[in-house]
Structure formats: C-alpha cells, structure tokens
Amino acid sequence: MNYLLLSLMGGFLALDGTSVGQFMVSRPLVAGIVAGWVVGDPALGLLIGGVLEVYFISMFPVGGAVFPEGGPATLVGVVAAAQLGGAPGLAVGVLMGLLWSRLSAWSIRLLRRINGRLAPDPTATGVTPRKVATAHLAGVGIDFVRGAILTFAGLVGGAWVASTLGPHWPLDRNTTLGLLAVGASVPAGAFVASLGGWRRRRLLLGMGFLGALALGWVL
C-alpha cells in the first residue's frame, strides 16, 4: 500500500473538513467507503465509517469549538482494519479512528495558533491585499500538510497496532459489534437531547424505531 498517496489523500480530507469547500467528503461515512475502495474492501470501509459516523453524530462545530476530525481518522482506521479483517480488524479500525480523531482535534488547535500568528494585524500599518492573501493561502497549505502528516503517522501507528495487538483480540464479531453499539448509543442520546429531547420528539422516535425494527426483522 502506498503510504505517500494515502497521506496526500488524508491531506485533502483534512482540507475538506474546515479550510476548503466543506463538501463533506471528509465525513466518516464517505471517507470510510473511499478508503475501503483504496484497500479493496468497500464493505469494511462502510462498516468502520458507519460506526465512526454515529460516534461523531452529536458533535456540531458551532462557534469556535474544536471538533473531532473524522476524515483522516477514518482513513487511518480503515487501512489498519484491512490488514486484519474480521472482528480484530473492526476493533483495531475503530480504535485507531477514535484515537486519531482526538489527535486531529489537538492538531487543529495548534493550526489555529499558527494561523493567528501568520495573519496580518489589522491594527498595524502596512497591511496590503498581497499580505492578506498570502497569510490566508499559507493557512490552507499548512492545513493540508497537517492532514498529510497526521495521516502518515496514523498509517504507521495503525500498522504497528494491527501487527502487535490486533491478532490478540479475543471477542467474536457479534460481541465486538454489540460493544461498539453500546458506545455509539451515548452520542445518539446526546444527539436527541440536542435536537429537542426525548419528550418532544417521542412520536418521531417511536415511529422510526418500531417501524425500522419490524423492517429489519423482515429483511
């Protein structure tokens, strides 16, 4: 697997997260499936991306909040998972995705500090259009490099975790999925609470859950 190309892909995913466009190519669902194609297993990418998507569902980047970055983290998780497959792959993929999302949040904080130093001071004299444009585009470039370095480090770290810890995962697939579903239920609860609460949304929640439960059973 070409780590250089995957790292560049991580850089582009990081850009989409905040700096450029925000077309949501960097959402775990999309990044997971795309990474799955790259490693030759889109279904695995969908599984890891889908799980991470629910973990991040309640995080809204409102105001100046620092948020977990899903794109590079999901890419790292899927590539690590593909080295093992099965329940150990699922466990390693989600673990790397969660850890790298936290590391991404830390690197975003650092990026913002650097951007603050690069930006021309509006109260100082000598601010020109060229200085405004240069500082801004430098911020975009640094964000790309940040995403690429973060992804590269994650790919190396993920390969190590997959080869050392991965084979020792003792749980089967259903137990692993159950464990991850319990974890995902916490952000799901936070999501409902943020968007009106259980009491106000009870009809929608009841209809959706019971209807889908029956459909899931039939399918």
Of residues 69 through 108, those in contact with another protein by CB under 8 A are 91, 94-95, 98-99, 101-102
- Give the binding range for another protein (CB under 8 A) out of 1-9, 75-83, 149-157, 198-206: 198-206
Binding another protein (rule: CB under 8 A), the pick from 10, 11, 27, 155 is 27
Q: Does 48 bind another protein (CB under 8 A)?
A: no
Q: Position of tokens 């106000």?
A: 200
Helix (H, G, I), strand (E, B) or coil at 63: coil
Q: Does 113 bind another protein (CB under 8 A)?
A: yes
Helix (H) or strand (E) holding 213: helix 202-218
Binding another protein (rule: CB under 8 A), the pick from 4, 5, 20, 110 is 20
Name the residue nearer to another protein (CB basis): 22 or 156.
22
Residues between 128 and 147 with contacts to another protein, criterion CB under 8 A: 128-129, 132-133, 135-140, 143
Q: Are 145 and 91 in contact (CB under 8 A)?
A: no
Q: Single out the residue of 69, 106, 74, 112 nearest to residue 93, CA to CA.
A: 74
C-alpha–C-alpha distance, residues 126 and 106, integer Å: 33
Q: Which letter does DSSP use for residue 133 in this model?
A: H
